[in-house]
Amino acid sequence: MRILVIGSGGREHALLRGLAADPATTDLHVTPGNAGMAGLATVHADVGKADDPAAMVALARDIDAELVVIGPEIPLVAGVADALRAAGFRVFGPNQDAAQIEGSKQFAKDVMADAGVKTARAEQLAPGASEADIDAALDRFGPTWVVKDDGLAGGKGVVVTPDREAAREHVRAVHELGNPVLLESFLNGPEVSLFCLVDGETVVPLIPAQDHKRAYDNDEGPNTGGMGAYTPLPWLPAEGVQRIVDEVCVPVAKEMVRRGTPYSGLLYAGIAWDADGPWVVEFNARFGDPETQPILALLDTPLAGLLDAVASGTLASHPPLQWKDAYALTVVLAAENYPASPVTGGVISGDVVADPTKVLHAGTARNDAGELVSAGGRVLNIVGVGPTLEAARDDAYATIAEISLDGSFYRKDIALPAVEGRITL
Ligand code: GLY
């Protein structure tokens, strides 16, 4: 199978690695890609933007792709899947109308209300709201405020704060971007990222993971796209995944079909698990980053056939998924000043960065001298695997010690609360 992957992050590097390992894959291409992907795929760096439907259709035609896998949300929300399907390609990823489940938080709230899915209470504040309107809305929430950018923010547009002035500042900042704000009640309880393959009303869960969204250890510092993740979750009740599937993902999949916008692709349910079980924090219309990196490290089922089953509408007859009996985690190596204004262009060293079983690239490039350099905020994803979560942590942290990039940093506590039994329900 000739496969084109659209995207350039650690998630796409993990997808490429999985696809390359499937004997059904004959030819692998990626656009725009990054410096770590050349060993696995033909990299098409300069063929137009990933969210330009015409450019992506032209590339898929050039390659004669049999399957196109769209990684990030921006092309999905821009309608790249629609254009590819209209041109006759099989696509992994939802059409534009279904991708609104991530593109518009208000749309997601409406779907959940109609599907009877538990989620935070929310109010939208449009740009142009007066100071008095903002104050009145803030009065209706707290003592912890959750202020979300109701546009595409790649997980970075959320501020969760007990400081009312900080909440107000984020409302203003989002409005200055021209986007509406969503104010939400705060959901307490540990977070679960459950990824489900969805083909109409057929829902197949992957193993559950947990992300670490704050920049620094002990969940301090600003929100980021994600600083590390682990899977599976030893603290999640045995029936946890099935409850999320039954109470969240299946009702949403059915509601999307009922609305005439059936979902095809990966539905990411961001869940807070409290005394009543699963509550939805957010949905994403794509594989999460960095959770995908450890999840795919444990998947034994051939990935190309699995994604193709979703794309061709045959997921219901796909065999059950096979997983390694192990734990995996990913630690993100971030550039200096991430997430505010990451420093790029720093030279990365360490032979292990060329080994995609241990290191997946995100913001990397080659400079004029051919050296590997940082080119984004999240630079590398270090993957560890082991028979216990502690062993997986040891594996990842041993690898990261072999890498150097001036000014870079990473969290030392990925999965540590779970290892130490500090996550209680
Ligand atoms: N891990 C957060 C995200 O993918 O949005």
| Cα 130 to middle of ligand 1, angstroms | 32
The CATH number given to 327-419 is 3.90.600.10
Which residue, judged by its Cα, is nearest atom 4 of ligand 1?
Answer: 288
| Cα 369 to middle of ligand 1, angstroms | 33
| Cα 282 to middle of ligand 1, angstroms | 10
pLDDT at 128: 92
Question: Is 327-419 the same fold as 2-97?
Answer: no
| Cα 293 to middle of ligand 1, angstroms | 11
CATH 3.40.50.300 fits 2-97, yes or no: no
Q: What are phi and psi of 362, to 5 degrees?
A: -125, -90
| Cα 153 to middle of ligand 1, angstroms | 10
- Over pLDDT 90: what percentage of the chain? 92
pLDDT, one tens digit per residue, over 124-146 is 999 999 999 999 999 999 899 99
**What band does 354 get if pLDDT is binned at 50, 70 and 90?**
very high
Q: Domain locations in the chain?
A: 2-97, 121-184, 188-317, 327-419
pLDDT, one tens digit per residue, over 271-307 is 999 988 999 999 999 999 999 999 999 999 999 999 9
How far apart are alpha carbons 385 and 396 in whole angstroms?
Answer: 7
How far apart are alpha carbons 306 and 173 in whole angstroms?
Answer: 41
Residues having CB closer than 6 A to ligand 1 are: 155, 211, 226, 284, 288-289, 291
From 268, 271, 281, 292, give the residue whose CB has the most ligand 1 atoms within 8 Å, as the site to mutate: 268
Give the mean model confidence (pLDDT) for residues 1-16. Answer: 98
Number of the ligand 1 atom closest to the C-alpha atom of 282: 5
pLDDT, one tens digit per residue, over 199-220 is 999 999 999 999 999 999 999 9
CB neighbours of 340 closer than 8 A, spacing ≥ 6?
Answer: 222
pLDDT, one tens digit per residue, over 327-347 is 999 999 999 999 999 999 999
Q: Is the peptide bond before 143 cis (omega within 30 degrees of 0)?
A: yes
Lowest mean pLDDT among 3-7, 24-28, 220-224: 220-224
Give the mean model confidence (pLDDT) for residues 84-104. Answer: 97
Judge whether 299 and 345 are in contact, CB under 8 Å: no
**What band does 158 get if pLDDT is binned at 50, 70 and 90?**
confident
Assigned superfamily of 121-184: ATP-grasp fold, A domain (3.30.1490.20)
**What band does 406 get if pLDDT is binned at 50, 70 and 90?**
very high
Beta partners for residue 385, in sequence order: 328
| Cα 226 to middle of ligand 1, angstroms | 6
Number of the ligand 1 atom closest to the C-alpha atom of 155: 5
Assign domain 188-317 to its CATH architecture: 2-Layer Sandwich (3.30)
- Take residue 36 and report the two structure tokens written for it: 């770590």
Which residue, judged by its Cα, is nearest atom 3 of ligand 1?
Answer: 288
Number of the ligand 1 atom closest to the C-alpha atom of 229: 1
Which residue, judged by its Cα, is nearest atom 5 of ligand 1?
Answer: 155
Cα–Cα separations (whole angstroms), residue 238 to 119, 122, 208, 220, 233: 22, 30, 11, 30, 10
In which residue are the tokens 């329900």 written? 425
**What band does 60 get if pLDDT is binned at 50, 70 and 90?**
very high
pLDDT at 215: 97
